[in-house]
């Protein structure tokens, strides 16, 4: 059988047959490349979304967005700008592969500058610069600073807006000229939207943290202002708490009762503290920008300041020199106001941190100033009260000493007249006069005791004393008063009750207690009981069955001039129980009173028989 073989030969395609096939293949490759690019961009967006989910601050957001976008877009450099607090400039937050010289030149971009990022934010529209020539045509100064050493360049600037508010701008740079097709522009716009949402979320988180911090700061300052009348210590503590949250420095100027301005301050650095320590408040010397609310009584709020602002202030040479050295970036001062006028000012400034005050900062400072004003006013009132009390005590001391001398002479003359006269009427009248002199003398001695105790001059001189003997001596002196009151006094004691006490002070204490029992006892029997009790204590109980005291009056009876009955019905200064308490507590003991209306009063005193102070 004959074998046949065949060979298939592929002949070259004609030009008519070749064109459609190559185009089809190229189209397929372009579609595959486009799909791969779309897939890569989708993975990039997913990666960016994951990174932004853990970004808690604006800096974290900027870092995540710029790094991922530069990698995906294959850009040579990129950066993210944020609008500053006053809304006057853009600040570079994070950049990738940006030349140091260029970064230094464009770290701070005023919003009115002829710079691509500022232009994009001003217009609110993306800016696409496809080559260096376009850059040089529209932004010659920027082109001069960023001219590439070789090749071309293209730039994309995406403004970031949220709720009709400018947030910042994204910028990317490529080392070649190219047109931005629709898909690329859409992808870059999606990156900008992701960044905008993440920045808004970070802003809300920061606002929440700031609110918590502000509430804590306000609570701390309020606690300090409410718990101390030491104004200097309190205001220094408040200033310490406000730095660095509300400023790098805090100054509180307060007008004192002597009309002198005292300065309290705190600063973030020792150098700044040294400058403030050497400074003092001065009134403005000329019209200009006020820097302290103490002079004008008006709030001064300057969220963004510079050297030009400093030179335009109304302060004198000393404060102007201080401001030049501090070089603040933000400044505010609020008055400490009261119904009587302005008492001071709370001043806060940002310096080294470069931060700026916000309207929320101002609101918090106003609230702090309001509370500080109340504290300053309370401190001034306390100072005035202390001065009044000191003057009163000085008057009482002088009056007591001055009254004792004529009273002693008058008593001697009356006693002599009673002895010399045989007339019973004269003797009776002189005896009554001597009793009134004695009563007046006791009142004068009470005033003198008040003066001594108010000055902290209750000095004890312990010596061996029998409390029973002291009580007997006191009761003997009350013979005439007891007879006038028609009362009987019973002393109950099974034996001596010795101890080491100040004899004159204990005698005075017993005298006051017995005097009160006779005065309010309605002529009914008064019982005095003296005994030793376990714990090496001596107990004295003075009990009457008189008018008694309502429960609501008991709390203030041991205070100075404390009374439970009208002065017109019962004499005295209301000092007896107060003096008795001072004496008992000075000996390490305690005094207790029980009473009820119509049932009488029982006063119980317990004192160590050998006080620790002896």
Provide the mean pLDDT of the chain.
Answer: 84
Cα distances (Å, whole numbers) of residue 167 to 122, 156, 160: 12, 17, 5
Q: How confident is the model at residue 267 (pLDDT cuts 50, 70, 90)?
A: very high
Mean pLDDT of 214-240: 85
The answer to whether residue 547 scores a pLDDT higher than 60 is yes
Closest CA to 489 of 438, 466, 523: 523
- Which of 6-10, 199-203, 409-413, 466-470 shows the lowest per-residue confidence on average (mean pLDDT)? 6-10
pLDDT at residue 166, as a whole number: 87
pLDDT at residue 45, as a whole number: 67
Mean pLDDT of 297-317: 89
Phi-psi region of 564 (alpha: psi -120 to 50; beta: other; left: phi over 0): alpha
Highest-confidence segment of 321-325, 412-416, 476-480? 321-325
Q: How confident is the model at residue 491 (pLDDT cuts 50, 70, 90)?
A: very high
Share of the chain above pLDDT 90, in %: 38
Does the bond joining 570 to the residue before it have cis omega, within 30 degrees of 0?
no
Spatial strand order of the sheet with 165-174 comes to: 108-110, 89-96, 77-83, 165-174, 154-162, 127-129
How far is residue 125's CA from residue 238's CA, in Å, rounded to a whole number? 47
What sign does the dihedral 378-384-387-393 (CA atoms) show? negative
pLDDT at residue 106, as a whole number: 95
How far is residue 9's CA from residue 536's CA, in Å, rounded to a whole number? 134
How far is residue 290's CA from residue 551's CA, in Å, rounded to a whole number? 59
Q: Write 53-58 long-range contacts (CB < 8 A, 24+).
A: 55/198, 55/202, 56/202, 56/205, 57/202, 57/205, 57/206, 58/82, 58/93, 58/199, 58/202, 58/203, 58/206
How far is residue 609's CA from residue 588's CA, in Å, rounded to a whole number? 10
The answer to whether residue 33 scores a pLDDT higher than 70 is no
If you count them, how many residues does the chain have?
614
Residue burial 585-604, b: 16+ Cβ < 10 Å; e: rest: ebbebebebebeeeebbbbe
The answer to whether residue 594 scores a pLDDT higher than 50 is yes
Share of the chain above pLDDT 70, in %: 85
If DSSP states are collapsed to H, E and C, what string results for 242-297? HCCCCCCEEEEEEECCCCCEEEEEEECCHHHHHHHHCCCCCCCCCCCECCCHHHHC
Q: What are phi and psi of 341, to 5 degrees?
A: 135, -170
Q: What is the pLDDT of residues 73-98, one digit of tens each?
A: 888 999 999 998 788 899 999 999 99
Spatial strand order of the sheet with 261-267 comes to: 261-267, 249-255, 341-350, 330-338, 300-302
Residue 313 DSSP code: B
How far is residue 510's CA from residue 591's CA, in Å, rounded to a whole number? 12
pLDDT at residue 580, as a whole number: 87
pLDDT at residue 168, as a whole number: 94
Q: What is the pLDDT of residues 157-214, one digit of tens each?
A: 999 998 778 899 999 999 999 889 888 898 889 889 888 988 888 888 888 888 888 8
Chain centroid to Cα 289, Å, comes to 28
The answer to whether residue 403 scores a pLDDT higher than 80 is no
Residues ≥6 apart with Cβ < 8 Å to 135: 116, 129, 142, 143, 146, 153, 155
Q: What are phi and psi of 306, to 5 degrees?
A: -145, -170
pLDDT at residue 543, as a whole number: 95
Cα distances (Å, whole numbers) of residue 370 to 177, 249, 302, 382, 504: 61, 19, 20, 19, 52
How far is residue 46's CA from residue 64's CA, in Å, rounded to a whole number? 12
Mean pLDDT of 570-596: 80
**pTM for this structure?**
0.55
How far is residue 274's CA from residue 612's CA, in Å, rounded to a whole number? 49
Closest CA to 336 of 348, 351, 347: 347
Query: Do 550 and 564 contact (CB within 8 A), yes or no?
Result: yes
pLDDT at residue 567, as a whole number: 40
Query: Do 467 and 505 contact (CB within 8 A), yes or no?
Result: no
The beta strand positions in 112-224, using DSSP E, are 127-129, 154-162, 165-174
Residue bearing the bigger pLDDT, 443 or 517 = 517
Closest CA to 517 of 501, 540, 533, 537: 540
Over its C-alpha atoms, the chain yields an Rg (Å, rounded) of 46
Mean pLDDT of 61-65: 88
Phi-psi region of 130 (alpha: psi -120 to 50; beta: other; left: phi over 0): alpha
Cα distances (Å, whole numbers) of residue 155 to 127, 171, 181: 8, 7, 14
DSSP per-residue string spanning 39-100: HHHHHHHHHHHHHHHT--SHHHHHHHHHHHHHHHHT-SEEEEEEE-TTSSEEEEEEEES--H
The answer to whether residue 519 scores a pLDDT higher than 80 is yes
Q: How confident is the model at residue 8 (pLDDT cuts 50, 70, 90)?
A: very low
The answer to whether residue 2 scores a pLDDT higher than 60 is no
Q: What is the dihedral of CA 585, 586, 589, 593, to 10 degrees?
A: -30
Closest CA to 121 of 89, 82, 166: 166
The answer to whether residue 521 scores a pLDDT higher than 50 is yes
Q: How confident is the model at residue 556 (pLDDT cuts 50, 70, 90)?
A: low
DSSP per-residue string spanning 160-177: EEETTEEEEEEEEEESS-
Other CB atoms closer than 10 Å to residue 137's CB: what's the count? 11
CA atoms within 13 A on the CB side of 132: 14
Other CB atoms closer than 10 Å to residue 367's CB: what's the count? 15
How far is residue 372's CA from residue 369's CA, in Å, rounded to a whole number? 5
Mean pLDDT of 432-450: 73
Strand partners, 560: none
How far is residue 167's CA from residue 206's CA, in Å, rounded to a whole number? 15
Q: What's the first-to-final CA gap in the chain, in angstroms?
A: 149
The beta strand positions in 310-427, using DSSP E, are 330-338, 341-350
The beta strand positions in 97-164, using DSSP E, are 108-110, 127-129, 154-162
How far is residue 43's CA from residue 155's CA, in Å, rounded to a whole number? 24
Percent of the chain as helix, strand, coil, to the nearest 5: 50, 20, 30
């Amino acid at each position: 059988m004959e074998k046949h073989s065949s060979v298939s030969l592929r002949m070259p395609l004609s030009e008519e047959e070749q064109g459609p096939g190559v185009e089809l293949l190229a189209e397929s490759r372009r579609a595959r490349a486009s799909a791969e690019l779309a897939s890569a961009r989708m993975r990039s967006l997913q990666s960016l979304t994951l990174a932004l989910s853990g970004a808690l601050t604006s800096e974290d957001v900027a870092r995540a967005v710029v790094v991922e976008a530069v990698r995906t877009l294959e850009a040579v450099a990129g950066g993210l700008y944020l609008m500053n607090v006053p809304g006057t400039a853009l600040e570079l937050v994070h950049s990738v592969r940006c030349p140091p010289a260029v970064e230094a030149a464009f770290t701070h971009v005023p919003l009115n500058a002829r710079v691509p990022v500022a232009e994009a934010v001003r217009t609110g529209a993306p800016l696409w610069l496809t080559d260096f020539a376009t850059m040089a045509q529209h932004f010659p100064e920027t082109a001069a600073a960023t001219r590439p050493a070789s090749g071309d360049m293209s730039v994309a600037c995406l403004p970031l807006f949220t709720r009709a508010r400018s947030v910042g701008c994204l910028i990317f740079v490529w080392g070649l000229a190219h047109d931005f097709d629709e898909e690329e522009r859409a992808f870059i716009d999606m990156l900008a939207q992701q960044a905008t949402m993440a920045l808004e979320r970070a802003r809300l988180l920061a606002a929440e943290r700031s609110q918590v911090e502000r509430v804590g700061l306000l609570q701390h300052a309020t606690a300090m202002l409410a718990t101390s009348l030491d104004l200097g210590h309190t205001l220094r503590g408040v200033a310490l708490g406000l730095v660095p949250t509300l400023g790098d420095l805090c100054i509180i100027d307060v007008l004192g009762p002597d009309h002198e301005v005292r300065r309290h301050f705190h600063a973030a650095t020792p150098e700044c503290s040294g400058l403030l320590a050497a400074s003092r408040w001065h009134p403005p010397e000329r019209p200009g920008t006020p820097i302290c609310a103490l002079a004008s009584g008006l709030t001064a709020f300057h969220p963004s300041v510079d050297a030009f602002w400093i030179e335009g202030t109304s302060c004198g040479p000393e404060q102007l020199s201080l401001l030049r050295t501090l070089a603040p970036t933000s400044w505010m001062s609020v008055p400490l106001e009261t119904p009587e006028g302005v008492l001071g000012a709370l001043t806060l400034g940002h310096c080294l941190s470069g931060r700026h005050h916000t309207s929320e900062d101002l609101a918090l400072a106003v609230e702090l100033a309001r509370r500080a004003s109340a504290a300053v006013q309370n401190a001034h009132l306390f100072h005035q009260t202390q001065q009044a009390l000191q003057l009163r005590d000085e008057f009482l001391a002088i009056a007591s000493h001055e009254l004792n001398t004529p009273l002693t002479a008058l008593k001697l003359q009356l006693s002599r007249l009673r002895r010399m006269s045989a007339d019973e009427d004269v003797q009776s009248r002189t005896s009554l006069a001597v009793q009134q002199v004695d009563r007046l003398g006791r009142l004068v001695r009470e005033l003198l005791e008040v003066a001594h105790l108010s000055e902290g001059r209750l000095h004890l001189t312990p010596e061996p004393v029998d409390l029973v003997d002291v009580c007997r001596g006191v009761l003997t002196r009350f013979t005439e008063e007891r007879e006038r009151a028609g009362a009987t006094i019973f002393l109950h004691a099974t034996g001596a009750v010795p101890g080491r006490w100040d004899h004159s002070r204990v005698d005075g204490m017993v005298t006051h207690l017995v005097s009160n029992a006779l005065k309010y006892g309605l002529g009914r029997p008064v019982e005095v009981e003296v005994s030793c009790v376990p714990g090496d204590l001596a107990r004295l109980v003075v009990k009457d069955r008189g008018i008694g005291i309502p429960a609501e009056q008991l709390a203030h009876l041991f205070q100075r001039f404390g009374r439970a009955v009208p002065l017109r019905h019962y004499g005295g200064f209301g000092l007896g129980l107060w003096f008795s308490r001072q004496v008992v507590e000075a000996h390490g003991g305690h005094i207790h009173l029980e009473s009820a209306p119509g049932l009488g009063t029982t006063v119980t005193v317990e004192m160590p028989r050998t006080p620790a102070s002896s």
